[in-house]
Structure 1
Amino acid sequence: MSATHLAAESSRVAPRPAVQAGVLGTLSTVFRIWKNRRAFHRLGEMSDAELADIGLTRSDLSVATDAPLGADPTVRLRLLAEERVETIEDAARRAA
């Protein structure tokens, strides 16, 4: 077998791992979003005091539910909680 035959065979095989990696990456993303949505729905079962302990409010949950179906609502919740912490820290710095 010559080098050109090997090169031709390897070029036909090369796209497969890339396609498989793309499919596995997509499946991984879908699974992560599904898992995070399940955790998000469990947050709705928590009391307001429990939500406050983790830096969230009931209205934060309402805002995050407006995300499209394919989006991860926990990302929006993290951003809301981080904004709230920054606001509180800014207010504390101004008061000091």
Structure 2
Amino acid sequence: MSTCEFAPETARITIRPAVTTRVWNGISGLFRAWRNRLAFRRLGELTDAELADIGLTRGDLRVATDVPFGADPTVKLHSLVRQRAATAADLSRMVG
């Protein structure tokens, strides 16, 4: 047998795990987003004082709800908190 006869079989073997991995990553990503949306929904039940203790506001929750359905709103919340912390650090450097 020549090398050319093995080439199509080799291509199928390497493609199959890649497709399976992509499908699995997609399904696990959707499951993670769904689970985080459930946790995110519980944040809406907190009082304003409790939200302030963890560095969030009601406005942050409203902004994070604007993400598409398959997206994870907690990623948006993390981004908002990180931006706020960076702004506060910049302001403290200017004052100090």
Task: Indicate yes or no: 2:65 matched with 1:88.
Answer: no
Alignment RMSD: 1.7
Deviation at 1:6, TM superposition (A): 4.8
CA distance, structure 2, for counterparts of residue 57 and residue 31 of structure 1: 26
Deviation at 1:46, TM superposition (A): 1.1
CA distance, structure 1, for counterparts of residue 46 and residue 2 of structure 2: 65
- The residue type equivalent to 1:10 in the other structure is T
- The residue type equivalent to 1:72 in the other structure is D
- TM-score, with structure 2 as normaliser: 0.83
Cα gap change, 1:12 to 1:68, in 2 (>3 Å) = closer
Task: Indicate yes or no: 2:64 matched with 1:38.
Answer: no
Q: In the alignment, what sits opposite 2:78?
A: 78
- Please state whether the residue corresponding to 2:84 is helix, strand or coil: helix
- TM-score, with structure 1 as normaliser: 0.83
- The residue type equivalent to 1:35 in the other structure is R
CA distance, structure 1, for counterparts of residue 75 and residue 86 of structure 2: 17
Identity %: 54
Cα gap change, 1:53 to 1:43, in 2 (>3 Å) = same
> Which ranges in structure 1 are unaligned for 5 or more consecutive residues?
none
Between stretches 86-95 and 48-57, larger displacement belongs to 86-95
> Which ranges in structure 2 are unaligned for 5 or more consecutive residues?
none
Cα gap change, 1:93 to 1:8, in 2 (>3 Å) = closer
CA distance, structure 1, for counterparts of residue 37 and residue 28 of structure 2: 14
Matching of residues 1-96 of structure 1 within 5 Å: 2=1, 4=3, 6-96=6-96
